[in-house]
A and B are shown apart, each in its own frame.
Chain A
Amino acid sequence: MSEMIALLGQPNSGKSTVFNALTGSRQHVGNWPGKTVEKIDGTYEHKGVRYTVTDLPGSYGLTGNSDEEVITADFIRSGKADLVCVLLDASQLERSMFMLAEFAALKRPAVVLLNMMDIAKAQGKEIDDRLLEEHLGVPVLPFTAAESAGYERLKDLFAKELKTPHMLASAPGTAAEPVKDADTVLRDSKAKFDWIKEMLEGVTRSASAAFTLSRRDQRLLSPRGGKLRCLGVIFAGFLVSMLICMPLMGLGSMIPGLLNVPVADFLNSLGVHPWLVSIFSVIIPNTLYFCVAMSGFVFGVNLVFGYLEETGFLARAAYQFDGVLSKLGLQGKAVCPLVMGFGCTIGGTSGSRVMDSWGQRMLTMAVVWAVPCASIWAVIPVISNFFFTPAQTLLVVLGILVYMVFMIMIVSRVFGRSLVPDSTRSGMIMELPPFHKPHWKHIIKEALFKAWGIFKRALRTVTLISLVFWAFSFSASGDVEGSLLYKIGTAIEPVTRFFGLGWRTFMGFLTAAFAKEAVLGVLNAVFVGQNSLLDATFRTSTMAVTDNLTLAKVMGEVVSKPEALAFMFACTFNVPCVMALTTTYRESHSLKWTARIAGFYVGGALVLSCIVYHLAALFA
């Protein structure tokens, strides 16, 4: 058993930065037993000794009744951690010491990390860390988490303290257990801050007391203009993240084209079974492409979000949109993932990492699925034009937007109750950290780390789902009629008809769940029969041979207008593509919840299709 160090700190204390810098890629993410709270462990080696680090859930205190606080307090009390590293924010020392005051009552060995020293210095704050150390009775290390310079000293300190541990010299003398009575909470909090004042006696000298909003804050926080500016920044951030990931996506999209023919030729020359040829020449290269594209997105989004979060912008956006989003059962911070979702669902789900708790995060991802992504906006107008006039197409687009808001409300109502229970639900109480210069090196490192993690973990999931799809759409002759999907589709057509979809559009609906870009190609395959279903689904990047005019003509003959309308709505509000699905699973670490939400979306899309079809049929 290696010795265990636990990291404890309030949100924005830089806890996860320290954790990532210490452990690098040697991390394990899971859930605390029976709780929807992420449990993150990691290891590192220092001077030949192995250490385990636990990143405790972020919360403002330890005596509250949220899952995060109960888990953290129980874990510290259990003594599983040999040493607790308490992070303080040097730029807001007094306030951030509340966590230390709560921790003091638990009487465990500790070191104090005085983080954000760079910001405190920039604000002209002086802290006598030697005197603070004397008052507290445990080592105090001034630190800037985003700079790699201090970590050797930190590891040395951990090693030393594990051998000769220190405990806090005093405690506020309040209850260490959660208190049910509001008056006691209020009285205790005063005692805790009195203790903090005592500890800080002579330690701090701050330059000025008065506070004025900076120019930038005045502009970002104004009621109307500020909202527009925030949306503008998020939109610009989205464009930048697209620009960053484009080259990677481009490289990825070349993989199938480069591998398809040579691999197929090579395997055919060996006389390998056509199934295997198909798997290795089509599925595997395509899976690689998907995974490269996904990690490209994750990299771009994390870079931009890392920047927006570190500079303090994200908190301003959350302040602006909390009112609107709380009506939908969400938190202000969800505004960024939601806007990102219009571009790409993968971006939106990956951007949900800014949410405070796992439950909020899962709920945000579930809601982002309802936001139609750029691929949908590229496909829907084309299909709509096959059947409707431009003015009617505009109405379709508006209808989709209106239903999107409705869908967001339904999803947050259905899943919000269990993901974010009422007892933990509350209005926004949030600090707005001061604007400061980003540490680029650190942001880039974290984004690369995230992207690589997704790539590694997604390979298996995407391969698996691709194989299932392949099994259903493979046809020895290359014709649609030879595929399992065709046989099932035509067999259950009486049922899908009830939902408004014929076997052809139902097939389009199913494959849209694989990749939205594939919809036109698949429609082409089932209506015109030009290319095989497999090629249409998996080789969208290399074979853009959809003849829209012919497709429009054939579709118009077979499909009625109500069916077309039902199809468009069903496709838009079905589960997002395989890549977004995989990202959600990989980011949430919960197969159960991803499957549950996916099931809800598929069911919801079919019901929607049914309603739209029968309503439209009344008017047609």
Chain B
Amino acid sequence: MKLTETTPGCSYAVRSIEGDSHLMNRITAIGITEGAALWTVKNDPKMPVLIYLRETLIALNRNDAERISVERDE
């Protein structure tokens, strides 16, 4: 599923990221890489998605979050 469709309080693993090299650079530099574990903290409509990843609370705008696929991590 897309990162924008995740439920707050649940944990996920990043499966794939779509985008050009510019976006990819920005996303991976902040620590969002394939296989990385994350919690969705807040996912309100029209607001950036808040995730917790590598000990960091990160706000990610919805357009970019759409391009990140994750799977549920039990």
**Residues of A with Cβ closer than 8 Å to B?**
59-61, 63-65, 91-95, 98, 179-182, 184-186, 188-190, 193, 206, 210-211, 213, 221, 223, 315, 318-320, 322-323, 326, 423-424, 426-434
Contacts and interface: CB of A to CB of B under 8 A. Distances in A.
A92 B54 contact: yes
A427 B25 contact: no
Contacts, number: 126
Nearest to B57: A432
Contacts of A63: 25
B64 A429 contact: yes
Among B19, B23, B26, B53, max chain A CB count under 10 A is at B26
Interface of B: 17, 19-31, 33-36, 39, 41-42, 44, 46-48, 50, 52-64
Contacts of A61: 25, 28-29
A223 B58 contact: no
A206 B54 CA distance: 11
A427 B63 contact: yes
B48 A211 contact: no
B59 A429 contact: yes
Contacts of B59: 315, 318-319, 322, 428-432
Nearest to B42: A221
A64 B23 contact: no
A431 B21 contact: no
A185 to B, nearest CB: 4
B29 A64 contact: yes
12 contacts: A61-B25, A65-B22, A94-B55, A98-B29, A211-B39, A211-B57, A213-B41, A223-B47, A319-B48, A427-B48, A428-B48, A431-B30
Given A93-B55, A427-B61, A429-B60, A186 B42 contact: no
A550 to B, nearest CB: 54
A186 B31 contact: no
Given A64-B22, A223-B46, A315-B59, 13 more contacts: A65-B22, A95-B55, A98-B31, A179-B21, A184-B21, A185-B25, A186-B24, A189-B24, A318-B59, A319-B47, A319-B50, A326-B61, A434-B57
Contacts of B26: 60, 64, 426, 429
Given A186-B17, A213-B42, A430 B58 contact: yes
A203 to B, nearest CB: 13
B5 to A, nearest CB: 18
Contacts of A430: 58-59
Contact of B64 (A60, A190, A426): A426
A444 B29 CA distance: 33
A463 to B, nearest CB: 45
A322 B59 CA distance: 10
A363 B55 CA distance: 33
A91 B56 CA distance: 9
B57 to A, nearest CB: 4
B41 A211 contact: yes
Contacts of B29: 59-61, 64, 98, 189
A92 B56 contact: yes
A85 B55 CA distance: 23
Shortest 8 CB-CB contacts between residues of A and residues of B = A427-B61, A189-B28, A60-B29, A61-B29, A64-B25, A95-B54, A211-B52, A95-B31
Given A98-B31, A428-B59, A432-B57, A322 B48 contact: yes
A189 B48 contact: no
Contacts of B64: 426-427, 429
A426 B22 contact: yes
Nearest to B20: A182
